[in-house]
Amino acid sequence: MSNIKSIVDIPTVNKIARLARLQIPEKNKQNLTNDLNNILEFVAQLNEVDTSNVEPLASVTGHKLPLRNDEVTDGNIEQLVLKNAPESSSGFFVVPKVIE
């Protein structure tokens, strides 16, 4: 819980941006750092709440997640799957070369 007061600096922003695969222009980094610190400071008020005997709540549905039979329900839609791809070839998505 002591971590919650942690302050984000530019190296941290670089690290998070890397994890999120976001290229952030140098000139925007200081503003972004300030925004993130303001938001993190705002949410830190949750520290006031005693949650020592509280279970986390992930879903409000109240029902168990249903299971379905593991069966193929469609298929032969290669063209539809590739339709919005920025680049495709011979039924594959094309990405920049990953093996030298």
Partner 1 sequence: MSDLLNLDLSSAQKSLKNREISSVELTKAYLDAIEKTSSLGAYIDLQKDYALEMAKNSDKKINQGVAGPLEGIPIGVKDMFCTKDIKTTASSKILENFYPTYESTVTQNLWNDGAVMLGKLSCDEFAMGSSNETAAKGNVINPWSKTIPMSPGGSSGGSAAAVASRSALAATGTDTGGSIRQPAAFCGITGLKPTYGRCSRWGIVAFSSSLDQAGPLTRTVSDAAIMLNSMAGYDNKDSTSANLEMPDLTSYLDKSIKGKKIGIPKEYTQDGISEDIVSFYETSIQFLKDSGAEIIPVSLPHTKYALPVYYIIAPAEASSNLARYDGVRYGTRKEAESLDDMYELTRGEGFGDEVQRRIMIGTYVLSSGYYDAYYLKAQKVRRLIKEDFDNTFENVDFLLTPSTPSTAFELGQKQDPLTMYLNDIFTVPASLAGLPGISIPVGLDKAGLPVGIQLIANSFDEPNLISVAHTLEKSANFNVIAQGAAK
Of 45, 69, 76, 90, which one interacts with partner 1 (CB under 8 A)? 45
For the segment 6-35, give every residue that binds partner 1 (CB under 8 A): 6, 8, 12-13, 16-17, 19-25, 28, 32, 35
Query: Residue 23: how many CA atoms within 13 Å on its side-chain side?
Result: 0
- Inter-residue contact 40 to 48 (CB < 8 Å): no
Contacts of 9 (CB under 8 A, 6+ apart): 33
Place of tokens 């029902």: 63
- Inter-residue contact 29 to 10 (CB < 8 Å): yes
Q: Which residue number, 76 or 83, has a Cβ lying nearer to partner 1?
A: 83
Residues of the shown chain interacting with partner 1 in the complex, contacts defined by CB under 8 A: 1, 3-4, 6, 8, 12-13, 16-17, 19-25, 28, 32, 35-36, 38-40, 42-47, 49, 51, 54-63, 65-66, 68, 77, 80-81, 83-87, 93, 95-96, 98
